[in-house]
């Protein structure tokens, strides 16, 4: 259970973590800081590549 989770933003930035909680935080932080978008947790989970 140490697989890496990844989300690639539409702007090309790739965010990685082995922890889904941390990844959700990274992505929501990036989206609000760089794109002024608030994603829900469900939306972020739908973007995760395993």
In angstroms, what is the minimal distance from the CB of 28 to Zn ion?
Answer: 11
13 part of the interface to Zn ion, by CB under 5 A: yes
By C-alpha distance, which of 26, 25, 18 is closest to 50?
Answer: 18
11 part of the interface to Zn ion, by CB under 5 A: yes
47 part of the interface to Zn ion, by CB under 5 A: no
26 part of the interface to Zn ion, by CB under 5 A: no
What is the Cα 23 distance to its own chain's centre?
5
Q: How far apart are CA 17 and CA 26, in angstroms?
A: 9
Q: Catalog residues that contact Zn ion under the rule CB under 5 A.
A: 9, 11, 13, 34
């Amino acid at each position: 259970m140490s697989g890496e989770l990844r989300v690639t933003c539409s702007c090309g930035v790739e965010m990685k973590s082995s922890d889904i909680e941390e990844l959700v935080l990274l992505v929501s932080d990036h989206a609000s800081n760089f794109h002024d978008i608030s994603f829900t947790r469900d939306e972020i989970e739908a973007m995760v590549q395993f």
